Structure 1
Amino acid sequence: MSVDSSLFVFALFDTSALLFLTVYIVITLSDLECDYLNAHQCCNKLNKWVIPELISYAILVILLLFTNHWFLFILNGPMLSWIGYKYYSIPKGNIGFYDATEVHNRGNLKQLMKFSMIRLAFHLIHFFIYLYCMIIALIESYFVTRVAVNLKTSDSAKMSSKPTKTHLALKKADNYNHNDFDSKLMVCLMNRSAICLPVTERSEPLTGEDVLDKVYNQLRDQNIDYDKPLYFDPKYKNLFAIWVTSAYLELQLQPTHRPFTVLTNWDQLLFKHGPIELVTDPQLIRKDEPNLSFQRNVFCDKSRDNEIGVSDMGALRLLYFEAKLNVLDGRYPYDDYEQLAAYQAAIDLGPYDQNEHSIQYFRQHLNEFIPCNHVKGSDGNKINGLMRTLSRGTQTHRCAQRIVDKYRDISNHKWTDYDLLKAYLDICHTIPAYGSAYFSAQIERPIKSSFASLMSHFDLKVWVAVNKDGLHLISKEKPELLLSIDYDDLCWAVGCPQDSSDPNCIPCLFIQIPDESDKNTILQIFSRQYKLIESILHSFIEEAKAKSSSQPMSPSCDVTDSAQPIAAQRVITYESNPKLSLLRKKLSLATFDGSGQCINKTGSWVRSQHRKTIN
C-alpha cells in the first residue's frame, strides 16, 4: 500500500470517528436543551472527549502537511485553528470547554449547538472527499503492485498459456505443408464489411503484397454485388495497404511481410509494444484478436499526383469510409464537425427529408455523425467535466440543429455522389493528422505543484500521429490537436528507464518544440511504442532526404543525459509556426536557456521524485 493510500485510509477512519463524535455531542446538547440531562451530567460527558478530538484532528492535519497535500491542509487548517482557539481561550475557573455554570448563560447553549452543527457539516463533506481520494489512491497502488508482480511472471505465463483456436489455425496456416490445407482469410474493409479470401497451398509463404492483390481481385470480381461499387483503377493500388489491427496495436504490413507470421506472433508484439495494462493483466493479451484490414497506405502522401487527384469512385469511397471512421474516433481533430456530419449525412442518407431527418433524429443518432467525446466535452478537471455534463443536453440540441441546417443547404445544391465524396475528403485533407499511423501514448498534465493534483490526478492519454507531413499529438479525452510539428522543425531524443525491471518506468520521447528565441522547450511523451514511432519517423525523414537533399533535416538529436535539454549539444532556432501554439497550456513542458539551464518547468520536471524515472 502506498503512502497516499495509507494516509487516506487513516483520514477516512479518523474523519468517521470525528463525525460520530460530533453527532454524539449534538445529541447530548439536545438532551440538555430538552432537560433530559442536567448541566453537570452533560458537561462531564462532553469534556472528556475534547482533548482526544483535538489530538486526532491535529494528527490528521499534520499528516496532510507532511505528505504535501496542500489543498486539503489549507481546507482543514482554519477549522483546526478555530477548535484550538476555542480550547485555549477557556476562562480560568471553568471545569473545561463545557462548564455547568456557564452553559445556560448568555445563550451559550445555542452557540455550542451552532458550533457543533458546523463541525458536523464540515466533517461530513470531508468524509466524502477522503473517500474519493482513498479510492483513487488504492486503485493506483493496486495497479503499480500488479504491474511489478506480473512483470516477473508474465514471460512464463505467456509460454504456459493455452493458445486460442484462432491462433492454432494460424499456426497451422503458416506451415503451408499440409496436403489437406484449405482455408479462408478474412480481410476487413473500412465500411464495416469483410472479404473472404481463399488461401490455397503454396510453395512460398503468403506476403502482404499477395494479400493486397487478392483483395483487389476480389473487389473486382464482386463489383456487381455492391450497391456502390468499391472496385478502383489499378493505378490507385499504391494508395492502400494491408494492416494488422487490434484494440491495442496497429501495424501496416510491408509488401514482404508475412501476415500469418505476424498474426501468430501477435502476443509477443503486444507484450513488447502494447500499453502497460497488458503487462498488468496477461489475460487481456490472450483475449485480444487481431484482424487484417484494407486501409490507406501511410507512406502515400496526399498530393495532387496521388490522393487529391483521385477521380475513381471506388477509391474515393474506400478513402471516405476510412476517413469517416477516423473522424468519429476522434483521430481527425476539426473545428467544424457539424459540416463533416452534414456531408456524411448527404452521402449516407441521401437528399434531405424534413420528415425523416429531423433534429430529434440526429439527437438520437449523434454518435454516428459526431465524435462521442466532442459533445460530452470531457476534461481532466473534474469540476469542469461535471459542469459540461450538466449542459450536455443543450449542446446536443444545438449540435443537431447545426447539422440539420448544413445538411439542408448541401441538399439544395443537388451535388452528385462524386462531389460529396470529394468535398468530404477535401476537408479531411486540411487536417494535419490525415493519413497518419497512430500510436498510444500519454503525457503529463501541466500541474505546477501537488496542490492541484487533487483535481487532475492521472496522465493525459494521447495519440501520437505520424504521417508524411510531420508528428502530431492528439488528445484521447477530447478530439483536440495539442501539437503539430513539421519534419523541418522536428528534433527528438529517446529516454529509456534507469531500471528496466520497473514496469512503472515508461520509455519516452523528448520532443523539442521550436521557439523564435534562443530558448528551448522540451515535451515528454511516454509510450511503450516509442521504437515504432522512431522507426516510422526515420523512414519518412530518409524518404524526404532522398527527394530533396538540398533541404537540411533534423532527424534526431542524440543525448546521453536526459537531465539536460536536447539543445544542450546543438542550439536550434525556429521561425514562427502557428500550428505549434495550439493548446500549449495543456502540455507539461520544460524550458531551457541557451546554456542548458532550466528556467521554467511543470509536471515531473518539478518533482524531485519522479513517477517515471528517465535515464
Structure 2
Amino acid sequence: MEGDNCSFPPDLSDDHSQRGSVASSATLSRAQDVLVYLFGESAVHLSVEGLGSVSVQELGRSVREALQIPESAPDAFAFWLCSPLLELQLKVRHQPYKLCRQWQDLLYRFTDASEDDISQGSSAHTRGLSAWTEWVELSAASVLHSELRDFYEPYLQYRRNVFYPKSKELQIKDEAVLRLLYEEARSNILSGRYPCDPEHWAGLGALSLALEEGPGLDSQQITTKIREKKLPSFVPAHVAMGSGGFFSTLRGKSSRQAELEQKLSEEYGKISKSTGSSLEPQQLLHQYLSMCHTLPYYGCAFFCGEIDKPAQGILQRGKRKAVSVGICLDGVYVMDVKEKHVLLGLRFSELSWDHSRPEEEGDSHILWLEFDGEEDGTPVNKLLKIYSKQAELMSGFIEFCVELMSTSEGGAANEPGVPQEPTGQEAGTRNGRGGRRGMLQRQGSVVCSRVHSLNTISYVDNGKEIKRLKPKRAASFFARQATAPTYSAVNTESLEQG
C-alpha cells in the first residue's frame, strides 16, 4: 500500500513556506546527524547527506537497515511528525526537513493553539530545525527524555503504519519487528490512549512482566519485580493512581496497590501454568499483540476534538467535553479523554459523515457523524457534532479508508469461496430494520459505546421526509439513497443552527 495515494495528511507545498531557512544549502549538503525516535524511549542515530531534500522513502531505507527490519515487512512502519498538539503520518514522497519548516503553519491550521503561543514557540521551533542540521552533544538519556521536547516543536518518529492490516501483524516472525509493534502498543495501553477493561490491562501487564523477566517467577519474585519497576510500568497510569475520590482515599493507597499486584500475579500465574518456562519471546509478543487486536481502535490515528455535554439544567448548557477521535481501517471511535472509555464506536458501514467549515468568526470546524439509534422505542437517525480544527483531516481520512476498504472488498468478492455480504432488501430483512444499519447497544465495558451519554440531534424518517424529533420541526437536511451505498455524506448546511 503506497502512502502517496492517501489524502491524509493533506498535501503541502514542498517548495514554498512562510518560514525562512535556518541553514544554508551548503550546510544541508554536508552529512548531518539525524535523530529518529522510537517507542520505548529509544532512537536511531543516522548520518544523512543532502538533508534538505531527503525523502521519507530514502530515510526509510536507512532506518530499516539500522534496525535490521527484513524486506518482508517494509510497510509495517511509517514516519510521523509529532508534537503534543499534532501528529501526522508522512507520505513516502514527503521531505521531513521541509515539512518541519512548515510546522508552525500546520499548528495554525489544525490546532487551537493561539497565535501568541505559537509565535513564542518560534525560537524553540528554530532549535528544532537546528537539531536537523547539527548534532548537539547530549547524553542519550537526556536527548530521549520527553521533557526536552518543546510543546510546539515536532520530532520525527518511526512507528506503526496506520494503514497496515492487523491480520498481517500476526504473520510477522521477526522478533525485532514484533518488539517495535509491542513497544508502541504498550505505550498506548499505559497512557490510556487505548481504553481497556481490567481483564485486558491485567493480562497485558502480566505479559509485559513475562517478556521482561521471563515466565518462571514465583509469587514472591513477582511482587518484588512489580515493586522494583512500579505499577505504572504494567498497568495504565489512571488505574495505578486510582480515581482519587473520597472512598479511594479511605481505602488507602497501599490497599489498592496490593490489590493490583495480586491481580497481576494471578494473570502471570496463568501464563506460567499454561506454557511453563519454555515460552519464547516471539510467542509472548504475538500473545500481547493478539490481545490488543481485540480492541477495535488498535492501530488508529488519533485526533483532538470536543463534543457538547448533555444539558443538565439552564446553568449546564453550552459546555463541552474533550474527546479523542481514533480512525483506522475498521471505523471511527470517539473516546472520553478524562474517563478513558469509548463514547461512540462506528464501523464505516454504520455511519455517514460530513465536514463543515466555519462561516462566521467564532464558529468551529465540525465533523458530523450520523448513525442509527432509538428514542422511546422509535428508530431514529442521530447526529453527533465533533468540534475540531482537525475535522478536515478526519473527514479526508475517513473518505480514504472507506474507498480503500471498498476496493479491498471488491477484490475479495471476486475470489472463489469468499462469502458476500447481503445487500439491499436482503440485508434489511436480516437485521429486522427494513434496510437500516445495525443499532448500537448500551453496554458496560469501556470498549462499548455509551450513546446514552451523548448530546446528539435525533431525527426520524416518516416515509416522506426526515424530521427532527425535539424540537418538533420538519427539516429535510439529508436523505438516504434507495440503493443504500456503502456510505453517504450528511448535508449539514442548515444543521449548525440546530
Give TM-score scaled by structure 1 length: 0.59
> What are the superposed Cα offsets for residues 409-463 of structure 1, whole Å, 9 maximum, x if unpaired?
323432221221111110001110111111111112223423556xxx9522211
Cα drift, residue 326 of structure 1: 0.8
Q: Does 1:282 align with 2:124?
A: no
Equivalent-residue separation in structure 2 for 1:348 and 1:302 (angstroms): 24
Per-residue CA deviation, residues 485-521 of structure 1 (Å, 9 max, x unaligned), is 111112012233231x32xx32111111223754111
**1:391 Cα offset (Å):** 5.0
Alignment of 1:292-371 (within 5 A): 292-303=156-167, 306-335=168-197, 336=199, 337-351=201-215, 352-358=217-223, 361-362=226-227, 365-371=230-236
Contact persistence 2:107–2:113 (CA under 8 A): no
- Contact 1:507 1:614 (8 Å CA) reproduced: no
Output aligned runs, 1:157-196, within 5 Å.
Answer: 168-169=22-23, 172=24, 175=25, 177-178=26-27, 181-196=30-45
Q: Relative to structure 2, which stretch is displaced further, 403-412 or 361-370?
A: 361-370
Q: Do the aligned partners of residues 244 and 401 (structure 1) sit closer, same or farther apart at CA in structure 2, a change above 3 Å counting? A: same
- 96, 105, 114: which one aligns with 1:268: 105
Provide the aligned C-alpha RMSD in A.
Answer: 3.3
CA contact (8 A) 1:442 1:526 kept: yes
Alpha carbons of structure 1 residues 179 and 377: separation in structure 2 relative to 1, 3 Å: closer
- Is the aligned partner of 1:472 residue 2:321? no
Q: Contact conserved, 1:485 with 1:579, CA < 8 A, in 2?
A: no
> How far off its partner does 1:318 sit?
0.9
Amino acid at match of 1:398: E
User: Which of 204, 209, 212 lines up with 2:60 in the alignment?
Assistant: 212
Q: Distance in 2 between matches of 1:598 and 1:179?
A: 60
Amino acid at match of 1:313: E
Letter of the 1:423 partner, please give it: Q
CA shift, 1:267, in A, is: 0.8
* In 2: Cα distance, 1:389 partner to 1:592 partner: 45
Unaligned runs of 5+ in 2: 1-16, 123-149, 414-419, 423-433, 472-494
SS of the residue aligned with 2:355?
strand
Corresponding residue of 1:509: 367
**How far apart are 1:596 and its partner, in Å?**
3.6
1:473 and 1:481 in contact (8 A); partners too:
yes
Is contact 2:303–2:394 with CA below 8 Å preserved after alignment? Answer: yes
The answer to whether 1:590 aligns with 2:427 is no
| Paired position in structure 1 for 2:73 | 236
Query: 1:273, 1:528 within 8 Å by CA — same for their partners in 2?
Result: yes
Inter-CA distance 572–451: structure 2 relative to 1 (3 Å threshold): farther
Q: Report if aligned partners of 1:363, 1:396 keep a CA contact under 8 Å in 2.
A: no
Q: Is the 8 A contact 2:28 2:49 kept in 1?
A: no
Q: Is the 8 A contact 1:446 1:585 kept in 2?
A: no
* Cα gap change, 1:179 to 1:296, in 2 (>3 Å): closer
Tell me how far 1:534 sits from its aligned partner.
1.0
Counterpart Cα distance in 1 of 2:206 and 2:245 = 27
2:343 counterpart residue number: 482
1:201 equivalent in structure 2? 50
Where is the helix percentage greater, Structure 1 or Structure 2?
1
Aligned 8 A contact 2:354 2:395 in 1:
no
Change in 2 beyond 3 A, CA 1:349/1:573: same
How far, CA to CA, are the matches of 2:438 and 2:265 in structure 1? 42
Unaligned runs of 5+ in 1: 1-157, 221-231, 379-383, 554-570, 602-611
CA spacing shift, 1:209–1:446, aligned 2, 3 Å: same
For 1:340, the aligned partner's letter is L
Residue 168 of structure 1 deviates from its aligned partner by 2.6
Q: Number of residue pairs matched?
A: 396
Aligned position for 2:436: 573
Identity among equivalent pairs (%): 26
Match of 2:387 in 1: 526
Question: CA contact under 8 A between 2:303 and 2:326: conserved in structure 1?
Answer: yes
Question: 1:496–1:614: 8 Å Cα contact kept in structure 2?
Answer: no
Shift in alpha-carbon separation, 1:321–1:278, aligned structure 2, 3 A: farther
CA contact 2:44–2:66 (8 Å) conserved in 1: yes
Over alpha carbons, which structure has the higher Rg? 1
